[in-house]
Structure 1
Amino acid sequence: MHNDTHADTETTTTDPDHVGSEHSPAGSGNSEHSGHGGHAGHGDHVGMFRRLFWIMLALAVPVVFASDMFAMLVGYSLPDASWIAWISPVLGTVMFVWGGSPFLTGAVSEIRSRTPGMMLLIALAITVAFVASMGASLGVLDHQLDFWWELALLIVIMLLGHWIEMRSLAQTTSALDSLAALLPDTAERVEGDDVVSVSPDQLQLSDVVVVRPGGRVPADGTIVAGSASMDESMITGESRTVRRGDGDQVVAGTVATDSGIRVQVTAIGQDTTLAGIGRLVADAQNSTSRAQRIADTAAGWLFWFALGAAAITAVVWTQFGMGDDAVIRTITVLVIACPHALGLAIPLVVSIATERAARGGVLVKDRLALETMRTVDTVLFDKTGTLTKGEPTVTAVEVSAGRTADEVLALAAAAETDSEHPLARAIVAAARHRNLTVLAATEFRSSPAIGVSAEVDGARVQVGGPALLEQEHATELAVADRWRAEGAIILHVLADGVVIGALELADEIRPESHAAVDALHDRGITVVMITGDADAVAKSVATELGVDRYFAGVKPEDKSHSVAALQTEGRTVAMVGDGVNDAPALAQADVGIAIGAGTDVAIASAGVILASDDPRSVLSVIELSRASYRKMKQNLWWAAGYNLISVPLAAGMLAPVGFVLPMSVGAILMSLSTIVVAANAQLLRRLDLSPDAVTGSLGQDSRDEQNEPMAIG
């Protein structure tokens, strides 16, 4: 890497440490799943439910086909061998104790927390079915209460539903592990005249470490020798590199882009900025509301409904002097009340929705994030790398008399060809984009904080910022004042010490950002932008895009505070970002959305990940959330509706007119309701989540150019 540095003609801050700051690309949670009582959405539960499902499915086959009630229902005869009659009781008992253990354990947890839900309802049904079936097998109860086949299918279906749910909730990355990965594997500690490689966790306060060009700082500290342009975008969100020299503070995880420096360690371990960001992520994740699933709420109501219906059934049938029928009807009610379809209503929708989303470039990690997205009324975009490309681009060329824009740009590109600096690459790329002839340069030199120089076609061409103009006693072009007000990076081009032109460089706005903002406005959603850049840069981008409000100059620890401030206004906030500095805000937001091109830590802290860097994909998440919610509601109404109708019929509500729902018919209806729920969920596969489909043509531009966004903070 060349030891070259560019300095901006002007910066957007009065901090002298920022003089010479440059632009460089930026890199880039949510509540944990509370789940049912007794389990949480972790990877080990995926394996547990998967293993249990396949084992119980294998056991269920002989249980079902050896059941007298199932044989009678389907219409075949069992062999006369006496051992056949014990297949269902023996294997059914194994299924109840082993396969039913997650639900029984979850039921105990729900009882202790006094929040009856799905687990208690399932446990009630399988327990009643087990006791009744065992009683029927032993001849203690009526043979009509042989529910072994129903018990087996119930356990298998519920295990399948929970396996699907756990798989959709399993998280594959850790935000805190990703934070730790920002630190280098080794640090070069100065020990006398030697430089020794050690692990960063071996560093002590006051140690001096060497950070080479392109290397990461291993611990927070103060520069004691050298100077470098530091890429702090991963930590601070500042879209330009910042010049740091003797006495300046540097942060662990940041990169010295162009020069080597020596740093005296001032903070280690839990006292570093990275560790602080990690604590913010953890705190925000832990404080996020752990809302119960919609299906759990429905199951809670159904539990009391089933219990009440069973009690009424027992009392009424006993009152009429039919004790045996009272037992049969009561047990039938409790078994039929178990929600086969309800247990699959949500997991199936979530599973299909996440699969469909993945094909559309949207990865849903957190079910609650998907459910919440439909209620979002404010979308907070990080600027750098999200609404913008996160890399400098030449946006304008101004020339002095007798020169052309192409000539100035070609000379600047020739001088910059041997540089690897981001601004140099932007200038060379702009020349290539215009198909300009870039001459070969010789005697290339770079000076930190000043610029570069080279011999091009017999002239000494220099490109640099304000320090270069001061060195050459030159005057900036008049256009610099306007560019400065827009927050742009300004580089002047000199030939033999004379200013021949100026280049405006800025973080280029993604063309898709306009369509994304317009589409969100069309849906009545407020769009807010947040950035570590100074106000002039933020205002320029915000005005161009037509966002409603913006936060500028926001430090890492304040990004999550900004999200919280919006939430205190009663807003439901979705945060879209791609930097490490965005991780706490992503975790704090009601929905965290990470741009897939961003850093692992941002991705790990988010509930939704966009595989592409197209901000229009946020609309895909909204459409997916709304469509999924509709399917969830439809499935819940169908599943719960089956129970609301079948339970009274099983209880004998129509007995006065001669109709009592037979157990066999109830079982068939139960299976049909599960099929209907599954088929309805499949309709989600038709949803078109492409950015063009959810936002319309990029050519549409309905924003009001006259309305300036409101600056916040």
Structure 2
Amino acid sequence: MPIQEALCLLETSAEGLSESEARNRIQTFGYNEVAEKRSSPILEFLKRYWGPMPWLLESAIVLSYILGHYVEVLMIFVLLTVNAFIGYAHASSSLEALELLKRSLAVKAKVLRDGSWVVRDAREITYGDIIVLGLGDIVPADAKLISGELSVDQSALTGESLPVDVGASGIVYSSSTVRRGEAKVVVVNVGINTYFGKTAELVRIAKHRSHQEEVMMAVVKYMMYLGLTAIVPVSTYAMLMHRDLLSILTFVVVFLMGAVPVALPAVLTIVEAVGARELAEKGVLVTKLESIDDAASIDVLCLDKTGTITQNRLTVAEVTPLSGFSGKDVVRVASLASKEEGKDAIDLAIIECATAAGTHTSGCRRTSFMPFNPSIKRSEAVVEFEGKLFRAVKGAPQVILSMCKGTDRVTREKVEVSLAELAQKGYRTLAVAKSRDNVLEDLQLLGLISLADPPWPDSKSMIEEARSLGIKPIMLTGDNVAIAKEVARQVSIGSNIIRISDLQGLPEREQTRLIEENDGFAEIYPEDKYRIVKLLQSAGHMVGMTGDGVNDAPALKQSEMGIAVSNSTDVAKASASVVLTGSGVKVIIDAVKVSRQIYQRMLTWVINKVTKTVQFVGLLTLGFFWTHDIVISLLGMSLLVIANDFTTMSLATDNVKHTGNPNKWNVKSITLASLMIGMMLVVEGAIALFIGRHYLSLAWGELCTFLTLMLVFTSQFRVLTLRERKYFWSSRPGKGLLISVTATTIGFVVLGVYGVIIPPLALSQVLFILGFSALFTLGIDLPKYYAFRRLGL
């Protein structure tokens, strides 16, 4: 369909819609979005009662009911409901955060309303709107080209990796990515009627299982194995003693409740929520939660120069006219080869300079315009002035020089000298040329325009701090070596900067070695960034990658931590796992520090849980063979789980220090350290059992209370010991953890003395087991310190 016919059918014109008409159409046809299906909140809450860990607690409830232990039924149900509520509450807050995040990352479009170009969210685009598309834009709706040409990536729609060229009257589809060119288009379909049909897919925010979660699940599996290893011989022994089935089942449930980390989902949830909140407060939006864990492990940070190290806010620093021309002549012609609507940073800097210098282009009318094309490295326009045509061209100096055939050798040499001097200053330099009137192919060089892209004020300190955290920064840039070295000097990234072409033809091992040894690479292409990330990963590195442009997207998506800086293109934001919302890049270091703190909190939880399981399983097994009975009641087990979970959940806000080196999970070291500490605590349990049975001559119910209190008090002091990798007094616990430990300890002292739901003990006996647990648990601090140091924890 011809474009004029399409405009007529849509009841619009090349001048666009008015704001009032756009609002009317949105009210009639709806927003440019697809409403997402939402499940019932009640159903979502009930799902928290379904799964392996809820099944275990529900089995305990049924068994306790059959046995007539109604207090235990109530206690376990409360435990189950608390875990369900925490999981549901966080899931709800996560959905709200996700919606806020999607709005923060909403695709924008430049639309013509009331005769002026304005920026609107893609959801506010409607039928008949006139919008402009340029390099890096995501097409917000199905649209038909009015003027210009585009090369678009439709891989999200068709699976074809090659870009598709679209000319006048052609159609571009929603969620396609503009790879080259610029065009004015009219919107023909929105929302559910677009070819793609769902603009929400522009930002794919999916939570994949992180390495941390895989480690957690491995720990759960090993603890289950440990529990089953004890259950089999004990159950066999019980059957040989002709114990009834219900008592054996009770023993099995008690064993599994002690071994399985019932609070794991809640703890992971709370830790992630706290970490995400901390990062959000620092101006870091996490789009892929697994990147929080990965950030703790990155040891190489690839920094795209433009937009990351520097501000991507070009300004004209110097104008160098050739003989016979003035600076205003150079700026005037360069501004004619630039276009404000295209949002190109170089064009905007030149237009800003022309405006400030009072360079007038009145009377000039562009008859055609070609925006900057990376493949030919220039932009140009054909301009009509006073009835005559001339060609205005700006671009890479070597390209423009090759087009100016009439430039003599002396002039070329002067230009080369000027380029070298300007490059030493770290400037990006363009050459400007103009054709003679009505002779468009006869170009004459007018001069040079140098642009400076200053570093962010915090770039240097960020790079220095990255090194102090054991992260090697590597600068990547498409600029030449001279510019790259000057910027590297300004931010102290290092002096070993080489061309990416120096890697060509070398074996992969040699390429990897050069990447690891050098501080930066110049004259690179988008595929080179991706290749560098892949080579580093193949060498065992965890890689962070920063960027802001469409050319950074493949590397951002490939890296463990893809970071889109503020003012990134839509494609970069959609590809990254972390998006910075404020100016500057120092918050990258904040993200690394917070992630390392999260690692330390989860490491404490894992070691504490494995240690507790070893102690509990060991004591229960030893106690059964010693006394021929279960030394911890089902109710006591429920109380122990509640006490332990109440305290360990507060680890999410514990006061921890980030490490000075990248963190990596070492399951072998964690297991060995936990086994060693756990076995020492089994000895504690055996001593307590001996004292309670033979010295205090406690009745059976009192003995169960005595051992339950020992396990509860030990769990509180154990957390205070294990949270610190050195001696327990080396750092102060978080306020929440101290309150939890204090409240739990006091609560169980009262419970032990007054009984209420368990057989009571004398105050002296409760205080004795409290002191015994404190001295024994804190006494393992010295061997713990040496074990952690020896095993690298």
TM superposition score normalised by structure 2: 0.52
Partner of 1:517: 463
Q: Distance in 2 between matches of 1:45 and 1:126?
A: 31
Secondary structure at the residue paired with 1:379?
strand
Out of 349, 359, 372, the residue aligned to residue 426 of structure 1 is: 349
Secondary structure at the residue paired with 1:508?
coil
Q: Distance in 1 between matches of 2:361 and 2:577?
A: 50
Q: Distance in 2 between matches of 1:44 and 1:301?
A: 40
Partner of 1:126: 58
Q: Distance in 2 between matches of 1:575 and 1:515?
A: 18
Partner of 1:157: 82
Q: Are the aligned partners of 2:316 and 2:353 in contact in 1 as well (CA < 8 Å)?
A: yes
Q: Distance in 2 between matches of 1:252 and 1:187?
A: 20
Q: Distance in 2 between matches of 1:156 and 1:351?
A: 20
Q: What letter matches 1:587 in structure 2?
A: K
Alignment CA distance shift 1:154-1:409 (3 Å): farther
Q: Are the aligned partners of 1:46 and 1:167 in contact in 2 as well (CA < 8 Å)?
A: no
Partner of 2:651: 680
Partner of 1:191: none
Q: What letter matches 2:58 in structure 1?
A: I
Partner of 1:294: 215
Q: Are the aligned partners of 1:587 and 1:606 in contact in 2 as well (CA < 8 Å)?
A: yes
Out of 552, 558, 562, the residue aligned to residue 592 of structure 1 is: 562
Alignment CA distance shift 1:684-1:366 (3 Å): farther
Structure 1 residue 482 and structure 2 residue 405: aligned? Answer: no
Q: Distance in 1 between matches of 2:353 and 2:143?
A: 46
Secondary structure at the residue paired with 1:339?
coil
Q: Distance in 1 between matches of 2:519 and 2:384?
A: 44
Partner of 2:226: 305
Q: What letter matches 1:126 in structure 2?
A: E
Secondary structure at the residue paired with 2:582?
coil
Secondary structure at the residue paired with 1:660?
coil
- Once the 2 structures are TM-superposed, how far is the Cα of residue 377 of structure 1 from its aligned partner? 0.8
Q: What letter matches 2:281 in structure 1?
A: R
In the TM superposition, 1:199-218 aligns within 5 A as 210-212=146-148
Secondary structure at the residue paired with 1:593?
strand
Partner of 1:348: 270
Q: Are the aligned partners of 2:332 and 2:360 in contact in 1 as well (CA < 8 Å)?
A: no
Deviations along 1:585-607, whole A, 9 cap, x unmatched? 22211222222422333323322
Structure 1 residue 526 and structure 2 residue 469: aligned? Answer: no
In the TM superposition, 1:264-413 aligns within 5 A as 292-320=213-241, 322-323=243-244, 325-397=247-319, 408=327, 412=331
In the TM superposition, 1:34-113 aligns within 5 A as 51-52=42-43, 54=45, 100-101=49-50, 103=51
Q: What letter matches 1:481 in structure 2?
A: L
Secondary structure at the residue paired with 1:333?
helix
Alignment CA distance shift 1:654-1:221 (3 Å): closer
Partner of 1:633: 603
Out of 670, 677, 689, the residue aligned to residue 641 of structure 2 is: 670
Q: Distance in 2 between matches of 1:555 and 1:424?
A: 22
Deviations along 1:407-458, whole A, 9 cap, x unmatched? 95799589959975554642565699xxx87587755577965689999xxx
Q: What letter matches 1:511 in structure 2?
A: P
Q: Are the aligned partners of 1:132 and 1:146 in contact in 2 as well (CA < 8 Å)?
A: no
Q: Are the aligned partners of 2:336 and 2:381 in contact in 1 as well (CA < 8 Å)?
A: no
- Once the 2 structures are TM-superposed, how far is the Cα of residue 392 of structure 1 from its aligned partner? 2.3
Once the two structures are overlaid, the 10-residue window that deviates more, 415-424 or 578-587, is: 415-424
Q: Distance in 1 between matches of 2:465 and 2:80?
A: 46
Q: Distance in 2 between matches of 1:402 and 1:626?
A: 61
- Once the 2 structures are TM-superposed, how far is the Cα of residue 224 of structure 1 from its aligned partner? 8.5
Q: What letter matches 2:457 in structure 1?
A: P
Deviations along 1:27-61, whole A, 9 cap, x unmatched? xxxxxxxxxxxxxxxx999967x635756xxxxxx
Secondary structure at the residue paired with 1:256?
strand
Alignment CA distance shift 1:321-1:523 (3 Å): same
Q: Are the aligned partners of 1:488 and 1:537 in contact in 2 as well (CA < 8 Å)?
A: yes
Higher helix proportion? 2
- Once the 2 structures are TM-superposed, how far is the Cα of residue 624 of structure 1 from its aligned partner? 0.8
Q: Are the aligned partners of 1:125 and 1:337 in contact in 2 as well (CA < 8 Å)?
A: no
Structure 1 residue 254 and structure 2 residue 163: aligned? Answer: no
- Once the 2 structures are TM-superposed, how far is the Cα of residue 307 of structure 1 from its aligned partner? 2.1
- Once the 2 structures are TM-superposed, how far is the Cα of residue 655 of structure 1 from its aligned partner? 7.9
Secondary structure at the residue paired with 1:380?
strand
- Once the 2 structures are TM-superposed, how far is the Cα of residue 400 of structure 1 from its aligned partner? 8.4
Alignment CA distance shift 1:286-1:343 (3 Å): closer
Q: Are the aligned partners of 2:305 and 2:476 in contact in 1 as well (CA < 8 Å)?
A: yes
Q: Distance in 2 between matches of 1:369 and 1:199?
A: 28
Secondary structure at the residue paired with 1:627?
helix
Q: What letter matches 1:133 in structure 2?
A: S
Q: Distance in 2 between matches of 1:411 and 1:531?
A: 27
Q: Distance in 2 between matches of 1:253 and 1:492?
A: 25
Alignment CA distance shift 1:675-1:286 (3 Å): closer
Q: Distance in 2 between matches of 1:357 and 1:425?
A: 33
Alignment CA distance shift 1:614-1:624 (3 Å): same
Q: What letter matches 1:482 in structure 2?
A: A
Task: Give identity over the alignment, percent.
Answer: 23
Q: Distance in 2 between matches of 1:154 and 1:489?
A: 67
Q: Are the aligned partners of 1:483 and 1:504 in contact in 2 as well (CA < 8 Å)?
A: no
Alignment CA distance shift 1:652-1:662 (3 Å): farther
Alignment CA distance shift 1:351-1:216 (3 Å): same
Count of residues in correspondence between the two structures: 511
Gaps of 5+ in 2: 1-34, 110-120, 130-138, 155-162, 169-174, 186-193, 196-200, 370-378, 386-391, 438-443, 495-517, 659-793
Q: Are the aligned partners of 2:315 and 2:452 in contact in 1 as well (CA < 8 Å)?
A: yes
Q: Distance in 2 between matches of 1:321 and 1:224?
A: 87
Gaps of 5+ in 1: 1-42, 56-97, 104-118, 137-142, 189-197, 204-208, 226-233, 236-250, 261-268, 271-277, 456-461, 688-713
TM superposition score normalised by structure 1: 0.57
Partner of 1:693: none
Secondary structure at the residue paired with 1:340?
coil
Secondary structure at the residue paired with 2:544?
strand
Partner of 1:580: 550
Structure 1 residue 567 and structure 2 residue 549: aligned? Answer: no
Q: Distance in 1 between matches of 2:226 and 2:633?
A: 20
Q: Are the aligned partners of 1:414 and 1:440 in contact in 2 as well (CA < 8 Å)?
A: no
Partner of 1:85: none
- Once the 2 structures are TM-superposed, how far is the Cα of residue 620 of structure 1 from its aligned partner? 1.0
Alignment CA distance shift 1:145-1:132 (3 Å): farther
Q: Distance in 2 between matches of 1:598 and 1:304?
A: 48
Secondary structure at the residue paired with 1:296?
helix
Alignment CA distance shift 1:490-1:515 (3 Å): same
- Once the 2 structures are TM-superposed, how far is the Cα of residue 618 of structure 1 from its aligned partner? 1.3
Q: What letter matches 2:418 in structure 1?
A: A
Secondary structure at the residue paired with 2:297?
coil
Q: Distance in 2 between matches of 1:287 and 1:318?
A: 45
Q: Distance in 2 between matches of 1:328 and 1:223?
A: 72
